[in-house]
Structure 1
Amino acid sequence: MPPRPSSQGAAAAVKPAEVINRDAIWSELATVWARPDPALLIGLGRRRAGKSWVLARFARAVNGIYYQATKRTETEQLAALSRIVGQHYKDAALARGTGFGTWEDLFGYLTDRAAGAPLLLILDEFPYLADAAPALPSILQSVWDHHWVGSRMKVVLAGSHFTAMRRLEEVDQPLYGRRTGRLHFPPFHLEYVRAFVPDYDARDVLLAHGIFGGLPGHLALLRRDEDLATNVARLILDPSGRLADDAERMLDAFLREADVHYSIIQAIATGAQTWKDITQRVGKPGGSLSRPMKWLEEMQFVARIIPVTENPRTSRRTRYRIVDHYVAFWHRFVAPLLAGGETSLTPADALWAGRVVPGLDDYMGHAFEEMCRAWVGRTSRLPFRPSRVGAWWDTTSQNEVDIVALGAQRELLVGECKWGSFDDDDLTKLRTRAALLHAELPKAAQGGPLILACFSARGDWSPSVARAIQAGTVLGFTAEDLLTV
């Protein structure tokens, strides 16, 4: 006989200490869990973003059902989920493998067992399920509309294939209009990287972020008792390291043929930022690269950027960048080592000292700029809250500004980032380029206060720049500042 509905409602979901960050996501899940109405959430997050980690632990906290799909047939998927359901309800027949014959039977069983009480069902990597069982979204729609409409079922469909997950919500799809909420699992920002390497100094935390990126699945591999060089050598430069080849296989789960996609990533990571440069580097006409590039953007592997003063729909000053620092680092340093066979011939620590360190400052210059822009968009330590943050470059690309932040009251912050020292010439260029940028702003955005900001990862200022910072005529920020928002 099905259990009676709980008279006390849904149990509170306490976030365990092992879940770093993700407070907003956990709070959203807890709020949805506590409500008396049904919910259908769509969860999006890149592989290694900790999506499965958080969802599985929330399911455990509320005694829910969690299933992570894999590339298997429909029969195998249904049998695997049947066993998990059987284990959840201590149903010996299901747990031993006497599975349901259809998805309708499985969902009907869950409806009966819930009997009006709240029940959480998480189907992770849902695109694998939908590929194996193309009718599943339609079946879910029917069950949702006819059986769960007055229930307390909480369903989460999650996946790392962004294109496929967004397709579920399009107007011609069965689940269109049924979503009640969305969960997004972005990579960690810089300030959360320190939780994985608490004994590192601020600059080494930035280096760790610039090399390993912000995916918690990567950061969790770092050993706290090892310095940065040892961690990089063990995880990335050693051929047997966990991240030695992750960047060259990351698309394989989504595409059968990904050679062109990998070539685009390699081109951007090694300096090709414009469409013309990318097509030349890849060696293919632009028409054949448009679709792969669009897919890489949709999957959040590559970002299209324009000057902050430009209209995104009409701007022709487009550049492209790699979103993940780990991927950028791997293609910049590791790919050439693999191509030359050096990773098999040279010890990992020697590769770090001889092949990585000489080019690390140049690489980190660009990574540091991105970290600073991200920090400016989140921090409360500026004189105003930016409504838009980006970079700027003129039509000739001769004049560039690393950070531009625009405020709702026409405030304008213009910043320059230096991984090393910040000298008088840097401040002079900043002032000159700030004037050029200001002249290009729309009239409606002009007239507000102009704030100059200097960023030095080392906190190394020339005497006159230090005096300007002390006098308050410019703002100065260091690596340590970036670890607190």
Structure 2
Amino acid sequence: MILKPGHVFARDAEWSALSRFAESTAPSTRLGVVSGRRRQGKTYLLNALTEALGGFYFVAADDTETEGLRRFGEALAFRSGGGGQYHFDNWDQALDRLYATVQDGVIVIDEFPYLAKASPVLPSLFQRALDPGGTARRSAAKLLLCGSAMSVMGGLLAGNAPLRGRASLELVVNPMDYLTAARFWGCEHDHELAVLLHAVIGGTPAYRHELVYSDAPSSREEFDDWVVRTVLNPMVPIFREARYLLAEETDIRDPALYHAVLGAIASGHNTRGGIAGYLGRPSTHIGHPLTVLEDSHLITREQDAFASGRFVYRIAEPLITFYESVMRRTWSFLERGLAEQAWAASRSGFLSQVVGPHFEELCREFTIRSSLELFGELPAQVSSGTVPDPSSRKSIQVDVAALTSGEPGRPARLLALGEAKWGKVMGLRHLDRLRRARDLLAVRKYDTEGTRLICYGGAGFDDDLRTAAAADGRIVLVDLPRLYGQAS
């Protein structure tokens, strides 16, 4: 494998995939597609790969076709070492010259959706070049098409798209997981700070340096000041980043509507009916915005663990949740430089509406990562769920539910039920809720014989709950040190 440069933090799996693709000698290995939302480090990775192997790197811009061809000709002429500029009348000519000029290494075309927008025929031209007898066969170079517009990149290899079946690599560069992000920010031993930071900026690498002047809080006590001087500061680039994330998606033509949908989800109205009711619209009117946001990887859809027809939507980018829950509501104050006042008014809502749900998401991720340790097997589903309680005419909201797949003639096994609390010390009342949910699910014919009851406590557990857990191995306590892979 090509040695990963020391300046590339983590991303071992992504680098390994790129290396295998670039070093492959198979004649059919000629095209790779790399996608991911902006600021995830795609360009950083591909630049490092090009420097290691040689080749050609071109970053597209939002140009007309003529302007794109002109800039491409300039870059290719510079790569050839001859100076000047190649003049192309169309992309057929440009691709012929590309593969005649670049004979080995990698060809990276970054922000490819811009080129495809101005020249919709371009994917078909690449298909023809890559097919047997095409111009790409004259060169040993591998082609990597890269882009941040997720809906466009996802369509390159889908359905009847021209490039379907041609790619040997389809790599999505996702945000870093919460454990890696804590190491990246240097707070892997300050677990409370790690959760708070991740609830604001998630695992996006660029939010650590470029967009905040490499400003990072050194302790939990400094977190509030850091929020005020960076994320809520109009003079710091990250201030408007959440708005830009939405504006960059080409399929989003009515930003106000999409912000309203995201705002509804951020405020806890995360079912289709709940979103529609919050917006005062029929549910049929929000189907398209939800689909576009999901295709853009800005939201995810999760099936309720215990109701097959019920789905909940979650915002995939923590910074958008923070913007919708905190910044959008106090925007007029923030633009006037009143960040301290805005944060003072928003901080309690931040803890309940942002950190609380985000902590639940981290607990679900922990459960997936630790499933072999917890259950000795891999669950088929880990999600939240709703359990109706007929006696109280209410429902019990289960933050974490882990289930196996149901086998023919046998009920699905319930591996675990979990409750997560960020700011409250957990006690027996939380355990009793889980016990009640387990008993109700047993009545519904779930196999609950070995079900573990897990309490995830951001603020810890009282003595009674610790005593109960010590007496029953099926009761599991997960505190912040355990969440971050350290012994409690």
What CA distance in whole angstroms lies between the structure 1 residues aligned with 2:289 and 2:439? 38
Pick one of 268, 271, 274 that aligns with 2:271: 274
Is 1:21 the counterpart of 2:10 in the alignment? Answer: yes
Where do 1:62-461 residues align within 5 Å? Answer: 62-94=53-85, 98-115=86-103, 118-145=104-131, 146-149=134-137, 151-199=139-187, 201-220=190-209, 221=212, 223-224=215-216, 226=218, 227-253=222-248, 254=250, 255-311=252-308, 315=309, 317-338=310-331, 341-345=332-336, 347-352=338-343, 354-363=344-353, 364-379=355-370, 380-384=372-376, 385-395=378-388, 398-407=395-404, 410=413, 412-420=415-423, 421-440=425-444, 446=447, 449-458=450-459, 460-461=460-461
Q: 3-state DSSP class of the match of 1:59?
A: helix
What CA distance in whole angstroms lies between the structure 2 residues aligned with 1:302 and 1:78? 35
What CA distance in whole angstroms lies between the structure 1 residues aligned with 2:445 and 2:32? 40
What CA distance in whole angstroms lies between the structure 2 residues aligned with 1:400 and 1:322? 19
- The code of the aligned residue for 1:202 comes to H
Answer yes or no: is the 8 Å Cα contact 2:270–2:314 preserved in 1: yes
Residue 229 (structure 1) shift: 1.9
**Percent of aligned pairs sharing the same letter:** 27
| TM-score normalised by length of structure 1 | 0.88
Residue 407 (structure 1) shift: 4.2
Answer yes or no: is the 8 Å Cα contact 2:208–2:215 preserved in 1: no
What CA distance in whole angstroms lies between the structure 2 residues aligned with 1:296 and 1:45? 14
Structure 1 regions of 5+ residues with no counterpart? 1-11
Residue 441 (structure 1) shift: 5.7
Q: 3-state DSSP class of the match of 2:286?
A: helix
- The code of the aligned residue for 1:361 comes to L
Pick one of 36, 39, 54 that aligns with 1:48: 39
Aligned residues: 458
Answer yes or no: is the 8 Å Cα contact 2:387–2:398 preserved in 1: no
Tell me: CA distance 1:428–1:448, structure 2 relative to 1, closer, same or farther (3 Å): closer
Structure 2 regions of 5+ residues with no counterpart? 406-411
What CA distance in whole angstroms lies between the structure 1 residues aligned with 2:444 and 2:398? 13
- State which drifts further: 191-200 or 294-303: 191-200
What CA distance in whole angstroms lies between the structure 1 residues aligned with 2:135 and 2:163? 15
Answer yes or no: is the 8 Å Cα contact 1:402–1:416 preserved in 2: yes
Q: CA RMSD in A?
A: 2.4
What CA distance in whole angstroms lies between the structure 2 residues aligned with 1:357 and 1:438? 40
Q: 3-state DSSP class of the match of 2:184?
A: coil
- State which drifts further: 419-428 or 372-381: 372-381
- The code of the aligned residue for 1:413 comes to A
What CA distance in whole angstroms lies between the structure 1 residues aligned with 2:143 and 2:72? 14
| TM-score normalised by length of structure 2 | 0.87
